[in-house]
Structure 1
Amino acid sequence: MAWWWQVLISLGIALAVIWLALIAALLLARPGMAQLVEALRLLPDLLRLLRRLAADRSLPRGVRVRLGLLLVYLAMPIDLVPDFIPVLGYADDAIIVVAVLRSTVRRAGLDAVRAHWPGTDDGFAAVCRLAGLREVG
């Protein structure tokens, strides 16, 4: 077998293993139905928040890159978990947004997220609950 076939097969196997690991992580982090309903209600404000944070030059570059990649992922028509898988098929985007938001708060601080939040105070409190963040004040 040619060396390039071996490389292609190895890459395919590696991608399959990574995909299965991500599916397992999503299964473990699966939110409750009430949390999903609340997340869907906040979706427009969350998308504006992500765009504003990604455009903020005062944030660390790694945070902005992560947010930009998240926005690209959300715009892609292909999902990590296909939509025909019950609950997780529709929840994968919400789970990934929460993970990136937590990472953003760890690096940039909750004050930066609060400064860019376009919605109501109740909406921000809901985002903090969904993401497992401690709201300051």
Structure 2
Amino acid sequence: MKDLLLVLPRLARMIGSLLGDREVPLSAKVALGAVALYLASPIDLIPDFIPFVGYLDDLLLAAIVVDGLLNYVDRSLLLKYWPGGAASLDTAAAVARRLAGWVPSPIKARIFGGRRHTA
């Protein structure tokens, strides 16, 4: 859990930078924007006032998008904006992959257009 909390600020910075980069595929930008809107919205699949479980949908959705970014956007582009080394990016990827593993692959592939994009 401590590793996850340390990664979140780095992740937020990287995502903000990726949104402004012309090399990032439109499908990835749309997914990032959609998850940001969902997380900011008061409407949830599982209401946030339910202890722990209420944030599960938010956590899974964020993990799907992060896992998708790491799988569908070229690694060199991610490292360009990651404010840490490759090892800490790999740690973030492992956490996101574990959480996103609860979601069927076809759903994740559909969010990002089903193919890997390279810079």
Give the alignment's TM-score, normalised by structure 2.
0.64
Deviation above 3 Å: which 4+ runs of structure 1? 77-80, 119-123
CA distance in 2, matches of 1:121, 1:109: 13
Equivalence for 2:89: 124
Equivalence for 1:88: 53
Give the alignment's TM-score, normalised by structure 1.
0.57
> Which structure ranks higher in relative contact order (CA pairs < 8 Å, sequence separation ≥ 6)?
2
Task: Check the 8 A contact 2:28/2:69 in 1, yes or no.
Answer: yes
Q: Cα offset for 1:126?
A: 2.1
CA distance in 1, matches of 2:51, 2:30: 31
* Structure 1 residues 45-60: aligned runs within 5 Å: 45-60=10-25
How many residues are paired up?
A: 98
**Does residue 38 of structure 1 match 2:7?**
no
Give the secondary structure class of the aligned counterpart of 1:44: helix
Q: RMSD in angstroms over aligned alpha carbons?
A: 2.4
Q: Cα offset for 1:120?
A: 5.0
Larger radius of gyration: 1
- Identical amino acids, percent of aligned pairs: 34
Unmatched tracts of structure 1, length 5 or more: 1-33
CA distance in 1, matches of 2:5, 2:56: 10
